[in-house]
Amino acid sequence: MLQKDILLGRNIHEDHLSPLEFEFLEKVQLFVKDEVLPSTRDWENAKSFPDNIWTKLGSLGLLSMSIPDKKGIVCSCKAYVEACRILAHGDPALAMNVAAWNALSASHIVHLATQEQRDKYLDKIATGDVKLAWALTEPDAGSDARRVRTSASFIQEKPGYAKLNGQKMFITNGGKADLIVVIARISETELSAFLLETDQPGFKITERIHTIGVQASNTVRFEMHDAVGWHTPCKFEEAISFLGKGRLGIAAMGLGIAEKAIQLTVEYASQREQFNRKLSDMQSVQNMLADSVVDLEAARLLIYKGAHLYDKKQDVNMAASMAKLFASEAVNRCTNRAIQIHGGRGMTFEYLVEKLWRDAKLTEIGEGCSEIQRLIIGKQISK
């Protein structure tokens, strides 16, 4: 069973996973229990994952969930969100990296790269030998993504290649990546995407950005000065279309954090006594837990609806925004209540809930803040 804890209930789409996916997720769960959760504080303190993390993730199949025919695992979106959720139980920063790797970077190469590009990179991406990042955000182009200023000038004597100039900011795994999918401007009105190999003189990391949560994740700002990028012929809308699946992954990361926070809080509340009663016997504590479990269940349903639509090859734009909006705000409520129930101890580094609370914040900002999700949903219903 993927979910034995009765608090969290039976996974609602467990029955819809293939035996191979099921086996894969059980391995992920074991990996999280044995190797991720015990290290999460160390990774945060080191502000880094261990160097061998990528080969480990690769050998488990976690880097090829979007790559058909790699290691025999062709993951449905349902299995992908499950993997993100399970990873977040152990380390939310790792869940975020795996979510973005699969949904944004690898998917881009699978669906929009040329055969030559796919042949060159995909095998090595699946094993973690080529490490990935996805770069849209710039200092002056965040929520307003179409404002990207990084320019791409095609090189006449090298068809398919362009010189990239500009800077990118807040790029997950940017400092470790061998290959970055860079969104750049090809004309005044058009944006497209390029594959940038980072071992070239035109590429320069200018800042390691430290964040309050997901601290182990290598978030950077970088500059490109005539850096050579290999064009993946696509329109901007195609390049950002992967954010649908990406947002479902971030929502699932939120779900995993919320599950962990609730589980830890139930355990704590059933031990801690005040006024000669366990906290868990107090009505107002039960009310907070009840609200958290309802939040959890509602988030779960929205995420699984989105994943189901994705697997049916239907448009997930609105469903993914709804899932991310609700799950990210829900996990912030849940982790806040988790700290409240832990009292003063909840604010100390001794208890994991404070870390989950900090890690949860990313879900309301990364891959489009809540206000942008509301904008997308609002536009769809006003069409």
| Burial class (CB within 10 angstroms; exposed 0-12, middle 13-18, buried 19+) of 86 | buried
Of these, 24, 101, 170, 194, which contacts ligand FAD (CB under 6 A)? 170
The yes or no reply on residue 359 touching ligand FAD (CB under 6 A) is no
Nearest to ligand FAD by Cβ — which residue? 142
The pattern of x and - marking residues 59 through 98 that bind ligand FAD according to CB under 6 A reads ----------------------------------------
The yes or no reply on residue 377 touching ligand FAD (CB under 6 A) is no
Rounded Cα distance between 69 and 66, Å, is 10
The yes or no reply on residue 358 touching ligand FAD (CB under 6 A) is no
Q: Which stretch binds ligand FAD (CB under 6 A): 16-24, 62-70, 303-311, 361-369?
A: 361-369
Backbone angle region of 161, left / alpha / beta, with phi > 0 → left and psi within -120 to 50 → alpha:
beta
Q: What's the full length of the chain, in residues?
A: 383
- For the CA atoms of 360, 56, 21, 365, the dihedral, rounded to the nearest 10 degrees, stands at 20
Active site residue 367: yes
| Helices 115-127 and 53-60, axial angle in degrees (round to 10) | 100
| Closer residue to ligand FAD (CB): 195 or 269 | 195
Of these, 137, 150, 165, 215, which contacts ligand FAD (CB under 6 A)? 137
The yes or no reply on residue 49 touching ligand FAD (CB under 6 A) is no
The yes or no reply on residue 270 touching ligand FAD (CB under 6 A) is no
Of these, 266, 342, 366, 373, which contacts ligand FAD (CB under 6 A)? 366
The yes or no reply on residue 208 touching ligand FAD (CB under 6 A) is no
Q: Which stretch binds ligand FAD (CB under 6 A): 83-91, 184-192, 220-228, 364-372?
A: 364-372
Query: How many other CB atoms are found less than 10 A from the CB of residue 234?
Result: 18
Residue 158 CB, shortest distance to ligand FAD, in Å, is: 26
- For the CA atoms of 47, 98, 237, 206, the dihedral, rounded to the nearest 10 degrees, stands at 20
Q: Which stretch binds ligand FAD (CB under 6 A): 20-28, 29-37, 59-67, 133-141?
A: 133-141
Rounded Cα distance between 88 and 258, Å, is 9
Of these, 60, 136, 253, 261, which contacts ligand FAD (CB under 6 A)? 136
The yes or no reply on residue 254 touching ligand FAD (CB under 6 A) is no
H helices of 197-282, in order, are 236-240, 243-269
> Using an 8 Å Cβ cutoff, are 263 and 280 in contact?
no
| Helices 77-90 and 283-311, axial angle in degrees (round to 10) | 140
Of these, 219, 232, 292, 321, which contacts ligand FAD (CB under 6 A)? 219
Rounded Cα distance between 322 and 226, Å, is 39
The yes or no reply on residue 368 touching ligand FAD (CB under 6 A) is yes
Of these, 83, 100, 239, 323, which contacts ligand FAD (CB under 6 A)? 100
3-state SS, 38-66, equals HHHHHHHHHCCCCCCHHHHHHHHCCCCCC
The yes or no reply on residue 214 touching ligand FAD (CB under 6 A) is yes
Q: Which of residues 327-356 bind ligand FAD (CB under 6 A)?
A: none
Phi, psi of 222 (to 5 degrees): -140, 160
Residue 133 CB, shortest distance to ligand FAD, in Å, is: 6
What does DSSP say about strands 132-135 and 179-185: parallel, antiparallel, or unpaired?
Answer: parallel
Quote the tokens at residue 372.
């942008």
Q: Which stretch binds ligand FAD (CB under 6 A): 108-116, 129-137, 225-233, 298-306?
A: 129-137
The pattern of x and - marking residues 140 through 169 that bind ligand FAD according to CB under 6 A reads --xx--------------------------
Q: Catalytic residue among 188, 267, 367, 371, which?
A: 367
| Burial class (CB within 10 angstroms; exposed 0-12, middle 13-18, buried 19+) of 27 | middle
- Chain residues that interact with ligand FAD, rule: CB under 6 A: 100, 134-137, 142-143, 170-172, 211, 214, 219, 362, 365-369, 371, 375
Active site residues: 367
